[in-house]
Amino acid sequence: MVDALDGCALRVEKAWGTVLHKQNIILDQGKAMTATQPQTDHVNSPFDLANTEMYEAWCQSKLKDYPTSLADLVVTIKDPRKLTNEEREELLKRVQKANMAVYVADTGTDPDRDIPLKLASQMGIFGLDHNWLADDDGLTSLTVVDEGARRNFIPYSNRTIKWHTDGYYNTADKQIQSLNLHCVCPSATGGENQLMDHEIAYMELRNKNPEYIRALMAPDAMTIPARIDDGGTTVRAEEAGPVFSICPKTGNLHMRYTIREHNVIWKDDAITLEAVQYLEDLLNGDSPYIFRGRLEPGMGLVSTNVIHDRAGFEDDETHTRLLYRARYYDRIAGTDVLDVYPELSQ
């Protein structure tokens, strides 16, 4: 990047089974369960609005020595396919702090698809999302495509992609917990990314108004309309769910989000719309927590699916942009919030 760039899969059978708030309704397989009923399948989390002291302690620990520039996230490695213990630990340390790390490897323009796949396995993630536009091995080749089904989707164009997390349109049981990118070849111009730790976004919203978080944790906060093909067949059903949710077994925070205007329906109440606007203003502002840069050959991103965007770009005769994207249903090993901050559970 220029300018120096076993998790929980939220397995819910019929509805978002996340702990939204101890005093709110908890959804369990589509049935309402009040907080007075026994709850043996979840742990305390700093992201639960009921846990004010725990949250404040987490904020203090989270912000201590938090990265101040993209350079703070960069790790130089020799070969992502064969990480040394030190290289892996340096990557993990950054992901534990900021939910992302950027590596600079010696592989350059080597197109070996094992580079991102073997890197991921060494970081303890294996549940690859074989989405319908992915390649046969589960990786997705992000490059401009002028024919076939992919030509209709923005990731396979040179157009700007606004702020989002990956897989926001997935069903509750297939939410993306980890997102990795690997650059084989950059575009001639453009193609930069902006990145923001989703836990920081949560913190900014909660500190502004805790009701923003309550609204965005509602199970119908954000609805992705059904996708209907040219023949009128529904190929992906409408999917409603929260923006922020908590993994009951680990206490981890998950975020599903898109800033796009034409493929999302927000819950039509005042506090939700106010929260959405505040988040959009945060992402489009000059927050010191937004990191900016571009992946160059041999560079890559390892993350727990942080919020990100992509600038438009142009290829030329010698630069045809090609990045490999790997999306996983499991979270990078060793990054659960209570593993990173064990003092919170004492």
| Reduced 3-state DSSP string for 149-186 | HHHHCHHHCCCCEEEECCCCCCCHHHCCCEEEEEEEEC
**Cα–Cα distance measured from residue 305 to residue 44, given in angstroms and rounded to the nearest whole number:** 22
User: Span 229-246, mean pLDDT?
Assistant: 85
> What is the percent of the chain with per-residue pLDDT over 90, rounded to a whole number?
77
d(CA 77, CA 53): 39
Name the more confident of 1 and 90.
90
Domain ranges of the chain: 26-345
- Helix/strand/coil for 61: helix
The pLDDT tens digits of the residues spanning 4-16 come to 343 333 322 234 4
Distance of alpha carbon 152 from alpha carbon 226, whole angstroms: 16
Average pLDDT, the chain: 88
Nearest Cα neighbor of 306 from 166, 121, 103, 140 is 166
| C-beta contacts of 32-41 below 8 A and 24+ residues apart | 41/248, 41/249
Distance CA 60, CA 343 (A): 12
- What confidence score (pLDDT) does residue 247 get? 96
CA atoms within 13 A on the CB side of 248: 16
- Asked if 163 and 292 touch (Cβ cutoff 8 Å), the reply is no
Contact 104, 298 (CB under 8 A): yes
pLDDT above 70 for 21: no
Look at the block and give the residue holding tokens 């559970």.
Answer: 345
pLDDT, mean of residues 225-240: 79
- Average of pLDDT values for 145-159? 85
Virtual torsion, Cα 87, 91, 93, 96, nearest 10 deg: -160
Is the Cβ–Cβ distance between 325 and 140 less than 8 Å? yes
The pLDDT value recorded for residue 41 is 64
**pLDDT value, residue 282:** 98
Q: What is the pLDDT of residue 238?
A: 87
Strand duo 239-241 + 313-314: pairing: unpaired
Q: Which of 42, 10, 6, 46 is nearest to 176 (CA)?
A: 10
How confident is the model at residue 5, as a pLDDT?
40
pLDDT at 1: 52
Beta pairing partners, 100? 303
pLDDT tens column, 194-232: 999 999 999 999 999 999 999 999 999 999 998 777 777
- Mean pLDDT of the 257-263 span: 87
Determine phi and psi for 84, rounding to 5 degrees. Answer: -80, 165
Interval 126-155 mean pLDDT: 88
- Band (pLDDT 50/70/90 cuts) for residue 343 is very high
Instruction: Determine how many CB atoms are found less than 10 A away from the CB of residue 103.
Output: 27
CATH of domain 26-345: 3.60.130.10
180: confidence class by pLDDT, cuts 50, 70, 90: very high
pLDDT at 154 (0 to 100): 82
